[in-house]
Homo-oligomer: A and B are copies of this chain.
Amino acid sequence: MFKIAVLPGDGIGPEVIEEGLKVLSAIEDKYKLKFDVKKYPFGGEAIDKYGVPYPEETKNACLSSDAVLLGAVGGHKWDDLEGDKRPEAGLLALRKSLGVYANLRPAVLYPPLKEASPLKNELLQEGLDILVVRELTGGIYFGPRGTVAIDYGFKAYDTEVYQTSEIERIAVIAFEAALKRKKKVTSVDKANILDSSRLWRKTVEEISKRYPDVELNHMYVDNCAMQLIKNPSQFDVILTSNMFGDILSDEASQLTGSIGMLPSASLREDKVGLYEPIHGSAPDIAGTKKANPLATILSVAMMLEYSFDLIDAANDIKDAVNKVLEAGYRTFDLGKGIILNTQEMGDKVVEYV
């Protein structure tokens, strides 16, 4: 029996999580499975209750689970807290404590949603199916940092730092993923400026020798930010650091025009994973029933696939989502169609599962 720690979080987090769990139940029924699902406080909710974003109880539960399903965290209410007391600090601590160094963020254009993409249609002829593989537990997110008083004001610093082993393991994830896709890895760095990027490039180059069937090319991050817009269909797998991945995965997802649709998985070697929609907590629409639960529902599908090896069940969910879209059902963010609210969309997916 797989154990799942569920962290609904803040804003629309609990609303979309509800629908994800609904679909998970439908899978339990269909496949006669039983998951051990329990909810724990996390993020702003946990700050309000316990003064910290990632309480011990939650941490213990996550560390003893096979997978963690997260809604979203953060909100204006907690914006003025100090760095290490904010919801985001909880998210970083969660990722680090689980050791989930490989963040997979697919940016896929669903053909029925082509019109929602901000790009001109001629750029979308060949579709858009990019997998961003972002290093998640290293780099400038976790390197030495500080703020010191100087003669005039302050000096503040953060350190981008990578070692060979960290780069090797994330590169392996990217090449393995590419083998199951279009066999192309674009490694993104700023090797014309950064020492850490030069080590990144050299190490990725080394790993690529183990994958003669995968084509590797290197791209500077500034150029990648352009190429994503200019010619997005040139990309298959984008492999990059924590910071660059944060920026480029958001850019890539926006190209699909429907970030409310996009799931993510963060993994380590033993298949334990953290699953979350890539969208934020959207406090402005919380409680209005407008949130799109599909990103969370598709995160559940990723969980079934990557952590539990339940490929058929995962495909059922993905197929159901496709059919719901093809039938013309939409949430508010997706534009024209038969508009459903959060719960109705969850129910509709359950119906097709």
Docked complex: A146-174 residues within 8 A CB-CB of B: 146-147, 150, 152-165, 168
A226 to B141, CA, bound (A): 20
A61 to B246, CA, bound (A): 41
Instruction: Decide yes or no whether A336 CB sits under 8 A from chain B.
Output: no
Interface bin, chain A: 35 or more
Q: Is the CB–CB distance between A164 and B158 below 8 Å?
A: no
Instruction: Decide yes or no whether A351 CB sits under 8 A from chain B.
Output: no
Residues of B within 8 A of A88 (CB): 192-193
Residues of B within 8 A of A212 (CB): none
Residues of B within 8 A of A83 (CB): 195, 198
Instruction: Decide yes or no whether A194 CB sits under 8 A from chain B.
Output: yes
Which of A29-37, A39-47, A96-104, A249-257 lies at the interface with chain B?
A249-257
A154 with B158, Cβ < 8 A, contacts A147-B195, A251-B229 known: no
Interface centre among A164, A192, A195, A255 (most CB of B within 10 A): A195
Q: Closest B residue to A115 by CB, please name it.
A: B120
A61 to B150, CA, bound (A): 35
Docked complex: A313-330 residues within 8 A CB-CB of B: none
Q: How many copies does the complex hold?
A: 2
Residues of B within 8 A of A147 (CB): 195, 198-199
A83 to B194, CA, bound (A): 9
Docked complex: A165-205 residues within 8 A CB-CB of B: 165, 168, 190, 192-200, 203
A163 with B155, Cβ < 8 A, contacts A83-B195, A120-B118, A254-B225 known: yes
Instruction: Decide yes or no whether A230 CB sits under 8 A from chain B.
Output: yes
A157 with B196, Cβ < 8 A, contacts A120-B118, A152-B164 known: yes
Residues of B within 8 A of A159 (CB): 157-160
Per a CB cutoff under 8 Å, which of B193, B197, B226, B254 touches A230?
B254
Min CB distance, A197 to chain B, in Å? 8
Q: Is the CB–CB distance between B119 and A143 below 8 Å?
A: no
Q: What are 11 contact pairs spanning A and B, CB under 8 A?
A: A83-B198, A118-B229, A145-B196, A150-B164, A154-B164, A156-B162, A159-B159, A190-B246, A223-B250, A226-B250, A226-B253
Beyond the given pairs A119-B119, A140-B194, 10 more chain A to chain B contacts, judged by CB atoms under 8 angstroms and listed by A's residue number, are A83-B198, A88-B193, A118-B120, A147-B198, A153-B164, A156-B195, A158-B159, A158-B196, A190-B246, A222-B246
